[in-house]
Amino acid sequence: MVELKTAAEIEQMREAGRVVGTALAAVKKQAAAGVSLRELDEVARDVLRSAGAVSLFEGYQPGFATSPFSGVICTSVNDAVLHGLPSDLRLEDGDLLNVDCGASINGWCADAATSFCVGTPRPEDLELIATTEEALAAGIAAAVEGNRIGDISAAIGRIGKRDNVGTNLDFGGHGVGRRMHEDPHIANGGRPGRGLKLLAGHVFAIEPWFWAGPGSTYIIDEDGWTLRSADHTRGAHAEHTVAITPEGPQILTLP
């Protein structure tokens, strides 16, 4: 069942979203060559702790995972794009870093992600990030009353197809509310006019993720979490928690 949130509940989710947005901004500010992924996790942890927020990631163990997640952010580098575990790996100049964060306050959740270059950027990485962010914007623009889930998926997919990037439909957007992952699943590609009809009060995490290469297959590291492209091309990920309102889509995960 897909629950509708009241205006007051959406405002509580916005409070959690601000914390998530602030944590991501703090991590981006501190990310530099020589900084470890574990140190960035501590940066985000401090933001959540100061706000009285609870991490949605730490201790989380879905069916595909072999162990509970050990950080408060996902830190995926270069050809990794999702679920990267914070570790002692130190960033290098030119790395492409994807950071995902989720938090709850008073039982209400929010989830967001961003990708950026460390130090000197590669032009092709900037292009991939731009494509991913454009796809996120297109998905959000389609999240209006009267549309359907398929319209969000199709809007994202059109951008990916246009730029010939690798797209996989196994992981994607999702409902969010009292739990991090609620129905429905929102694939990053599909046909418009299909699926759940969108109503005011629906809240979704919309999250395109692409690889620079045209391939769509992935492998999972021995850690049981880190997902990377099978052809080792670099990936980017962008995500916001978005509420559907009579006035249009509202992004809840801004700092």
Alpha-carbon separation of residue 162 from 83, 107, 136, 169, 179 (angstroms): 26, 39, 14, 17, 34
133-164 confidence digits (pLDDT tens): 999 999 999 999 999 999 999 999 999 999 99
**Taking the model in full, what pTM does it have?**
0.97
168-178 confidence digits (pLDDT tens): 999 999 999 99
6-60 confidence digits (pLDDT tens): 999 999 999 999 999 999 999 999 999 999 999 999 999 999 999 999 999 999 9
Handedness of CA 63, 66, 72, 74 (dihedral sign): negative
- Residue 111's nearest CA partner among 46, 204, 196, 29 is 204
Tokens of 93: 């100049």
Write down the pLDDT at residue 56: 98
Whether 146 and 159 have beta carbons less than 8 Å apart is answered as no
